[in-house]
Amino acid sequence: MVVDFRRRSHTPPALFIGGAAVEMLSTWKYLGLLISNDLTWATNTASIIKKAPQCLYFLRRLKRAGLSPAVLNSIYRCVVESIMTSSITVWYGNCSEADRKALQQVLKE
């Protein structure tokens, strides 16, 4: 991934390490965050929006199985909230309004 702040875009030269070409990526995962080469957080937010409902599905299944509300709340806080708030101080401030609304919609489910 190359981050270039110049007004005119150019193709960066090929980079070699130990004789092997380094692959250019459009997104890169670092410490659980998806960083895109355009420096928007849309890819990261989409990943979170995809993961959270999967966990909520299992939470609903556990509710039908008869778990107490206290246990369900603990599971929600440990699993779903940890997914939603993982590195939130890094990405939420620069998140688009549409992505914020999508995150709120997931929490309302």
Residue 101 located in a structural domain: yes
Residue 23 located in a structural domain: no
Residue range of the domain that includes 65: 39-108
pLDDT exceeds cutoff 80 at 19: yes
Residue 76 located in a structural domain: yes
Residue 83 located in a structural domain: yes
Residue 48 located in a structural domain: yes
Domain count of the fold of the chain: 1
Tokens 């246990």 appear where?
71
In the chain, what percentage of residues exceed pLDDT 70?
Answer: 100
Residue 13 located in a structural domain: no
pLDDT level of residue 98 (50, 70, 90 thresholds):
very high
Residue 4 located in a structural domain: no
